[in-house]
A and B are shown apart, each in its own frame.
Chain A
Amino acid sequence: MAKCDLSIEIADSQDKYFGGQTVRGTVVVRVDSDVRCKGLQVQTAWATHGYGNIDQGVGESVILFEGEWTAGETYRYDFELKVARWPPTYHGHYLNVDHAVEARASIPWSFDPKASELIHVTAVDGPEAKLDSSTNQATGAAGAGCAIVGTVFVGIFLVVMLLNPFAWILAGIVGLVGGGWWVFFRYLPRVALGKVQYQLQTNRLAPGEEVVGELVLRPKRNVRLNRIVWKITAEEVCVSGSGSNRTTRRHSLHEQELEVVGATTLTAEQETRIPLRFTLPDQPFYSLDLSDNDLTWNTHLRVDIPRWPDYVDKASFLVVPDVATGSEDRPDGLSPMEMPARVGVAPRQSAEPPALTFAETVAHVWASRGDAEQTDMLVGAVEGIPFDIEAIIERRLLYGNDDPAAYRDGYVVWGHYPDPELPLTLYIPKHLGDEFEQAGSRVWKGRGRITGYDRRHGRLQVHVEDHV
């Protein structure tokens, strides 16, 4: 029987956070019998689950207590920890990522009592946020080591080949098979098409952005094509087990095929440039690379040549939150990691509305209203996202359209959210102005987008688009 029981109480009655945000709470320890605790540890952590071998990581960890606990007592230890910035909470088919606050008491000669409380984390940074320079250096050293080992193996192989004539037979078979594959799938298509170049303009994109690529062809002779097809796919790839038990499962999340060119004839010695464009959905699935759990986006190109092997090529790209794309539109003076990001929540498989609501956003902003940096990060992360808005109207400002953020010929209305009473500034388009002329303390519902935070007046700024 456990000597004590742990539980975790998260403060603020919320369980949704942005990456890097602080979670506050209390670890409660109920003690059944006198016990010595070598360390009460609490941490924010994430772990994959589902089909693939588990990968996990820690955001922040702290030891809350070491010492003796007395039977019959209840102890409470407050904590403040940052959640990991990456990966985001994700629930797919084979691949899932969950974050939790975990507590563990190290008790000698006993199974350590544990407790955990799941929390939802939305990413505002890309996956590079978890890398540090030491990892990059290690990769470089490992690469050099592999090259040396590889050279040694090739050298030994060549010596064995020279000394053993039977090895030539095996080498011949391998060479024939490999060579045949290369000729059929690589050489012959290029013979027909001449110079072929396929590339993507950028391999890092955010939700809603356009995947832009180009195919360049310059055949030596006139060549007829049936069609050129460009396919964009997203899939979960999860590996379970090891050795002979290692199995891979794939689940398609998105597949779209575009016929970019129909039946046509390419002219000899003439360069043909074919643009390729595809707009990502607003809330697609972020690329994930978590050991044996991957979410990958790929493009597949096929040039269908009649009575000839097809030319095929493939290029991958990453889908990351806005901030991690290093967009040239970022404000001057801010590094990509400081740039406010749009929130892209990896959705569940079913057709669900966005995971983040206006009520939850207001609760977060309310909780962080004393911390300017935190508020700016939160507001920047949800900027531009459409929400169903709810507000208690206070008054329509007389000189509101002096505000540069106001709609042209529109109105500015002050109000607040019902609970918590976060002050709001609503920018109303002209055609909705009459609704707010006779303002009383009533609840107004509509549709709008968060566009900023007025620090001077402590108000969340919302551009209203329509009423309900």
Chain B
Amino acid sequence: MNVPEARHDSSPRERQHWLPFAAFNLRCNPFGEKTQDDRAALAVVDAQRWVSVATQPQRAIQFIGECGRGKTTHLLALRRILPEAAYVYLPEDGPLPEIPRGRPLMIDEAQRLPCRTRRQVWRRGGALVLGTHVDLSKTLQRYGYRVETIQVERQADPEQLAKIFNRRLEAARLDPTRPVARISREETAILLTRFETDIRAMESYLYERIQQLAGADCGEVRFID
């Protein structure tokens, strides 16, 4: 656990002393909600390894996992480097949005596709990248797809989590010449024990931990209570 000390020299960032986490060299709480673009930019995902598969017809990649495990993050990270990709999120309630065309077509919460719509989309034969709670490989294979399946939960280990959270901390850095706190692998191992693989729950917990420091002039960043 790194402990940055609050500095009181006359750096250019002294002007922004009114920021609640300025003493910790953070412009905001790093674990708050992000836009889709920011989530994609901060994703710790080796998206390049799927690029060749994700653009070929009759090829499908499905990211399987429960809520909060990183399915959407994987889709957004891929979309960021594939300019012809089309992304659609299927809500639980309300009308079904129009399914766009893209290379690949990315469907988040694909298990919510009604059967008829699913058949229509699978028949198109274009490259697919799916985020789903259930395994759709059998139905995809019936339509001639070769399917690659990634269980996103299996990717969550202490080292990976430390990278994810430290990237968030780095993105919230206020003054590039001063350090920010970093979370260690030991601490992420504790988080894994408490929250299993639910990354969203970990972020929510870390948000509250950091929020307790709001307004402090100095002090220690303790990620785990």
Contact = CB atoms under 8 A, between A and B. Distances in A.
Contact of A50 (B16, B33, B67, B215): B33
A22 interface: no
A395 interface: no
Contacts of A352: 215
A15 B15 CA distance: 7
A61 interface: no
Nearest to B172: A49
A117 to B, nearest CB: 9
The secondary structure that dominates the B interface is loop
Interface stretch (B87-95, B114-122, B123-131, B185-193): B87-95
Given A51-B207, A245-B67, A348-B215, A240 B19 contact: no
Contacts of B32: 49-51, 96
Nearest to B90: A243
A244 interface: yes
Contact of B34 (A14, A54, A91, A355): A54
Interface string A90-101: 010100101000
A53 interface: yes
B15 A96 contact: no
B177 interface: no
Interface residues of B, number: 25
Contacts of B214: 91, 93, 348-350
Nearest to A247: B204
Contacts of A52: 33
Contacts of B215: 348-350, 352
A174 to B, nearest CB: 19
A243 B28 contact: no
A135 interface: no
Interface in B13-61: 15-16, 18-20, 27-29, 32-35
Contacts of B93: 243
A13 interface: yes
A14 B35 contact: no
Contacts of B184: none
A26 to B, nearest CB: 14
Contacts of B27: 98, 118
Nearest to B207: A51
Interface string A241-257: 01111000000000000
Nearest to B20: A91
Give the interface centre of B16, B18, B19 by most chain A CB atoms within 10 Å: B18
Contact of A93 (B33, B67, B211): B211
A88 B76 CA distance: 31
Contact of A13 (B15, B34, B68): B15
12 contacts: A16-B18, A50-B29, A50-B33, A51-B207, A53-B33, A118-B19, A242-B89, A242-B91, A244-B67, A245-B200, A348-B20, A350-B215
